[in-house]
Amino acid sequence: MNTSVYSIDSRPRRLCMLAVGIVLNLLASGCGGLGGGSSATDIFGRTYYIDGAGNWGFGVAEIQNGLRRAGYKGSIINYRWSPTLNPALDQTIGRPAARVRGAELGREISAYLQKYPDNGVNIICLSAGTGVGVWACETITSRTKLHALIMLGSSLSADYDMQLALRNIAGGVWVYHSPYDQILQGPVRTLGTIDGQIGGEAAGAIGLQYKGPGGEKITNIRWSPRYERYGWTGAHTDATSEPMVQKVLAQHILTAPGHPSAADQTALSFEIAAARPIMLLAGHFALP
């Protein structure tokens, strides 16, 4: 009997210790410097993709392929944040770790924008990853701000206070939401939103309801049948389908500062084509 009572009473303490251990592990590993971009693509900007709880890879390939097919030239970085690789744990005891990783991303973005102040940085985030994306925005310290934040199937509270994040977003916040998202209507209501609200509405179900300073930057886009042709059926993760990324989401990103316009890209292609014979000729006569 005593052993059973001890086991039940100590459960919250063990969970708390596990959560603290997760956060300390993340702090120890850190995320310094400019992160995973390359010099060849960083000159055109950056777009981060933040997967949902568990980091199971929903949308990773589709975001990459969709943006490239749309003509995006900047770096595309898959930002991993899950300490457990378990969606239920990430959504509950992993919340402190999500905030830590969000703050680390904010510092990484700040470092990049200090090096490339004329470029644009964007974040596309899914489900619990939208919390990480918002907390990254709250932590940005560079003079240049984030260009676009795109939130898909967000499990952040619909009434989350966005004021601090919006101060660091120069362009806009686009929230794609659906009342038919069964993950948000079921498990997330039970486990709580990524910011810890139990039983409340998630932004991915009804949109962000923030009305304070900077709220005009938020655009809530409700699912409708017209999006089905792009692969978004109103379910939890399929707003990341490649056609949806290429035809819809990319339009928020291609206008970012520092990214070549369609006309610029055409001119650049002509310049490269015109220079190619000269380069080949120079190579032909080059000394060994």
Whole-number mean pLDDT of the chain? Answer: 84
- Cα–Cα dist 7/10, whole Å: 5
- pLDDT, residue 101, reads 97
Average the pLDDT over 51-80 and give the result.
Answer: 96
- pLDDT, residue 34, reads 60
- Cα–Cα dist 21/258, whole Å: 40
- pLDDT, residue 36, reads 66
Highest mean pLDDT among 6-20, 93-107, 262-276: 93-107
- pLDDT per position as a tens digit, 268-282: 344 334 433 333 333
More confident residue, 77 or 15: 77
This prediction has a pTM of 0.80
- pLDDT per position as a tens digit, 15-41: 444 444 444 444 434 444 566 677 789
Is residue 77 scored above 70 in pLDDT? yes
Is residue 135 scored above 90 in pLDDT? yes
Tell me 157's DSSP state. B
- pLDDT, residue 35, reads 62
Percent of the chain with pLDDT over 70: 77
Contact 134, 165 (CB under 8 A): yes
Percent of the chain with pLDDT over 90: 74
- pLDDT, residue 257, reads 84
Predicted confidence band of residue 260 (pLDDT cuts 50, 70, 90): confident
- Which of 18-32, 95-109, 120-134, 150-164 is least confident? 18-32
- pLDDT, residue 53, reads 93
- pLDDT, residue 258, reads 81
- Cα–Cα dist 215/173, whole Å: 9
Q: Which of 130, 190, 126, 188 is nearest to 160 (CA)?
A: 130
Contact 52, 153 (CB under 8 A): yes
Neighbour tally for 180: CB within 10 Å: 12
> What is the gyration radius of the CA atoms in the chain, in angstroms?
21
Is residue 248 scored above 90 in pLDDT? yes
- Cα–Cα dist 20/185, whole Å: 29
Tell me 259's DSSP state. S
- Cα–Cα dist 5/31, whole Å: 41
- pLDDT, residue 137, reads 99
Is residue 11 scored above 90 in pLDDT? no
Average the pLDDT over 250-259 and give the result.
Answer: 90
Report all structural domains of the chain as residue ranges with CATH numbers, in order of start.
2-261 (3.40.50.1820)
More confident residue, 225 or 9: 225
- pLDDT, residue 256, reads 84
